[in-house]
DNA sequence: CCGGATCCTTTATGATACTG
DNA sequence: CAGTATCATAAAGGATCCGG
């Protein structure tokens, strides 16, 4: 009866703080940034290049939000001219597993879901 | 070597279709609806009551989207006056695990993240 | 009871220009 | 290089009214 069972079959609970957290961390650009920073620390323009469709405004907003949540750190290198490096934190690394599970789910079921969409759209 | 390993330590890949799928299925109201329908089939107004903060417009949009993606089914009961019941599908049930993993992560790390936020906000 | 159509407000996002 | 500030626009969301 291990009440310490991870993921016991209890009903999920989504409190506003939980929801806010997911919003801050699972949005489009955050996942892309995480993906990149899981591979290696990167500089601002390096991230822009790695994520070609992000605007600089959205990227900087995303970075500041992830930094505030302790998911990444901003590291200012006192070189010349200034260089700034973003790195994933230990806390940030814990996000990888849930995100992987999610992407794994998406990959597995995307075909079935696309089929469902076609069927829905045809039926009108 | 098992190349069939689930979640091998390969880099995540987020294609536009994957991203769209997550957007359609992980948004605020979808998770609430899923949560409710995992417990029991429900009618429209039952869902409104269970999720007091959702507007009817957002709820109906959410339901139609989830239905289109094959996550839930809309079941019209030929009673009088019309009753409509929404149920989770087999495909929809597969979503539960990833969502649980996500919520488990959020629950575990929320304190650390709130601490990070306070520290960030104080530092200015 | 279920939900579409409309109007209106709020929020998110992009393009552009400028600074330490 | 690494951003911020500003402006313009689009998309999301709520409130309300109405019809099947």
Which domain CATH number covers A58?
1.10.10.10
Query: How high is the pLDDT of residue B93?
Result: 97
In a domain, B102, yes or no: no
pLDDT (mean) for A54-73: 97
Query: How high is the pLDDT of residue B9?
Result: 57
Query: How high is the pLDDT of residue B2?
Result: 45
B58 touches strand C (CB under 7 A): no
Task: Say yes or no for a CB contact (<8 Å) between B113 and A23.
Answer: no
DSSP B70: T
Q: Which of A68, A55, A88, A60 is nearest to A24 (CA)?
A: A68
In a domain, B3, yes or no: no
What the block records as the tokens of A121 is 């759209």
CA of A57 to C1' of C17 (A): 13
pLDDT (mean) for A1-9: 50
Is the predicted pLDDT of residue A108 greater than 60, yes or no? yes
Task: Say yes or no for a CB contact (<8 Å) between A32 and B17.
Answer: no
In a domain, B116, yes or no: no
Is the predicted pLDDT of residue A119 greater than 60, yes or no? yes
How far apart (Å, rounded) are the C-alpha atoms in residues A97 and A83?
Answer: 30
Q: What is the pLDDT of residues A77-105, one digit of tens each?
A: 987 788 999 999 999 999 999 999 999 99
Query: How high is the pLDDT of residue B1?
Result: 47
pTM: 0.89
Query: CA distances (Å), B122 to each of A61, B109, B110, in order?
Result: 19, 20, 18
Query: How high is the pLDDT of residue A10?
Result: 63
- Considering all nucleic acid strands, name the nucleotide whose C1' atom is nearest to the C-alpha of residue B84: C2
Q: What is the nearest CA distance from A33 to chain B, expressed in angstroms?
A: 11
DSSP symbols for chain A: --TT-TT-SSPP---HHHHHHHHHHSSHHHHHHHHHHHH--EEHHHHHHHSTT--HHHHHHHHHHHHHTTSEEEEEE--SS-EEEEEE-HHHHTTHHHHHHHHHHHHHHHHHHHHHHHHHHHH-
Q: Would you write out chain B's pLDDT as a tens digit for each of its 124 residues?
A: 444 555 555 666 789 999 999 999 999 999 999 999 999 999 999 999 999 999 999 999 999 999 999 999 999 987 778 899 999 999 999 999 999 999 999 999 999 999 999 999 998 7
Domain span including residue B34: 15-93
- Considering all nucleic acid strands, name the nucleotide whose C1' atom is nearest to the C-alpha of residue B58: D13
Q: How confident is the model at residue A6 (pLDDT cuts 50, 70, 90)?
A: low
In a domain, B60, yes or no: yes
What the block records as the tokens of A8 is 């016991």
In a domain, B112, yes or no: no
- Considering all nucleic acid strands, name the nucleotide whose C1' atom is nearest to the C-alpha of residue B63: C3
In a domain, A19, yes or no: yes
In a domain, A69, yes or no: yes
| CB-CB contact of B97 with B34 (8 Å) | no
The gap from C-alpha A91 to its chain's centroid, in whole angstroms, comes to 13
Task: Say yes or no for a CB contact (<8 Å) between A110 and B39.
Answer: no
Task: Please tell me the total count of domains within chain A.
Answer: 1
Query: How high is the pLDDT of residue A82?
Result: 86
In a domain, A103, yes or no: no
């Amino acid at each position: 009866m291990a009440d310490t069972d991870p993921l016991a079959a209890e009903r999920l609970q989504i409190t506003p703080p939980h929801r806010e957290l997911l919003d801050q961390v699972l949005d489009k650009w955050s996942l892309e940034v995480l993906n990149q920073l899981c591979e290696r620390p990167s500089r601002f323009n390096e991230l822009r290049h790695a994520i070609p469709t992000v605007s600089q405004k959205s990227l900087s907003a995303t970075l500041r939000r992830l930094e505030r949540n302790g998911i990444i750190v901003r590291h200012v290198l006192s070189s010349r001219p200034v260089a700034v490096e973003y790195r994933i934190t230990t806390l940030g690394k814990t996000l990888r597993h849930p995100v992987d599970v999610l992407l794994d789910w998406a990959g597995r079921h995307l075909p079935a879901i696309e089929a469902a969409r076609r069927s829905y759209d045809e039926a009108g």
